[in-house]
């Protein structure tokens, strides 16, 4: 990792501190259709990604996002409303840049969320899933290249990528909100194609319960940086082969339908963290 990258992280962090994002405790990455949760935060400070020095420049319409700092569930949170995806053409160092900035600002925990396809046949669109572990099949890794020991160790332990204590808290938060929450392994691919039916069979054989195109890079960097991670997937569809066809509108439609449950689940989780 070169000095320029580190300097860029520090520059973005000090820019955001100057904007008033002083003491964030929990970072929050809000996936496709799930960004509305940030609107629940109070006393907010918001900065569009395009105005943050060093942040990747978004090229895709509808993915233009912003950082929202504020109070949520009794904590100071720093939420990403929208994330950067590998399939958009960003390198994984760019995709995970915001996680480095969160760490530089003092965040100690990260909540990652996403929309995902259900591979486990017991899952139904609209289910929320506690991510218990992941499988990185993006064919890339954000930590490739020289390691900067100030950012984290050369070889990062991934034996508890998703904190067990946080998994229990999500479960408790689900019970409190009367939601039945699934549990499973998230398998991350590069995308942007959805999977073929044969690929879905492969994913099931490999032990994936849900499949998506995000999250894995951010969690790798979060663990490298020593952040504790909680992960929640919104199952938006039966993965290909389990339903007739699949399109992005459907993914967005389902996230909209479960938005209220999702918001209460994450809010209660943050209260408990
Ligand atoms: N596959 C990959 N990514 C996804 C899916 C899917 O079925 N649904 C939502 N994101």
Bridge partners, 230 (sequence order) = 111
pTM above 0.85, yes or no: yes
Catalytically active residues, by annotation? 32, 63, 85, 87-88, 115, 213-214, 237, 248
Tens of pLDDT, residue by residue over 144-157, are: 999 999 899 999 99
Q: Is 65 in the pocket of ligand 1 (CB under 6 A)?
A: no
Tens of pLDDT, residue by residue over 33-75, are: 788 899 999 999 999 999 999 998 766 555 568 999 999 999 9
Specify the DSSP element, H or E, that contains 43.
Answer: strand 42-48
Asked if residue 236 lies in contact with residue 255, where contact means CB atoms within 8 angstroms, the answer is yes
List the alpha helices (DSSP H) in 30-163: 92-95, 97-104
Cα(237)–Cα(216) distance, integer angstroms: 20
Q: Domain boundaries in the chain?
A: 3-272
The pLDDT score that the predictor gives to residue 245 is 72
Specify the DSSP element, H or E, that contains 66.
Answer: strand 66-72
Q: Is 86 in the pocket of ligand 1 (CB under 6 A)?
A: no
Q: Which atom of ligand 1 is nearest to the CA of 239?
A: 7
Alpha carbon of 45 to ligand 1 centroid (Å): 31
Tens of pLDDT, residue by residue over 154-211, are: 999 999 999 999 999 999 999 999 998 999 999 999 999 999 999 999 999 999 999 9
Characterize the bridge pairing of strands 228-238 and 109-118: parallel
Sign of the CA dihedral with 15 first, then 17, 21, and 27 last: positive
Q: Is 199 in the pocket of ligand 1 (CB under 6 A)?
A: no
For range 208-233, the mean pLDDT: 97
Q: Is 116 in the pocket of ligand 1 (CB under 6 A)?
A: yes
- Per CATH, the number for 3-272 is 3.40.50.1580
Cα(238)–Cα(242) distance, integer angstroms: 5
Mean pLDDT rounded to a whole number for the chain: 92
């Amino acid at each position: 990792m070169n000095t320029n990258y580190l300097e860029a992280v520090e520059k973005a962090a000090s820019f955001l501190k100057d904007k008033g994002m002083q003491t964030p405790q929990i970072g929050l990455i809000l996936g496709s259709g799930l960004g509305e949760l940030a609107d629940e935060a109070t006393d907010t400070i918001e900065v569009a990604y395009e105005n943050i020095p060093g942040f990747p420049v978004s090229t895709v319409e509808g993915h233009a996002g912003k950082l929202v700092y504020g109070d949520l569930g009794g904590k100071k949170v720093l939420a990403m409303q929208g994330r950067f995806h590998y399939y958009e053409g960003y390198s994984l160092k760019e995709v995970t840049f915001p996680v480095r900035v969160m760490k530089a600002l003092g965040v100690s925990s990260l909540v990652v969320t996403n929309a995902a396809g259900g591979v486990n046949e017991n899952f139904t669109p609209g289910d929320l899933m506690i991510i218990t572990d992941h499988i990185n099949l993006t064919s890339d890794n954000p930590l490739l290249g020289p390691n900067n020991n100030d950012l984290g160790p050369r070889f990062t332990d991934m034996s508890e990528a998703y904190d067990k204590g946080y998994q229990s808290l999500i479960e408790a938060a689900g019970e409190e909100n009367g939601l039945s929450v699934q549990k499973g392994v998230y398998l991350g691919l590069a995308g942007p194609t959805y999977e073929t039916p044969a690929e879905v069979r492969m994913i099931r054989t490999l032990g994936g319960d849900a499949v998506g195109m995000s999250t894995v890079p951010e969690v790798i960097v979060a663990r490298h940086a020593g952040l504790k991670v909680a992960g929640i997937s919104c199952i938006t569809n039966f993965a290909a082969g389990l339903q007739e066809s699949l399109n992005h509108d459907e993914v967005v439609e389902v996230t909209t339908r479960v938005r209220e449950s999702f918001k209460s689940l994450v809010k209660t989780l943050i209260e408990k963290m």
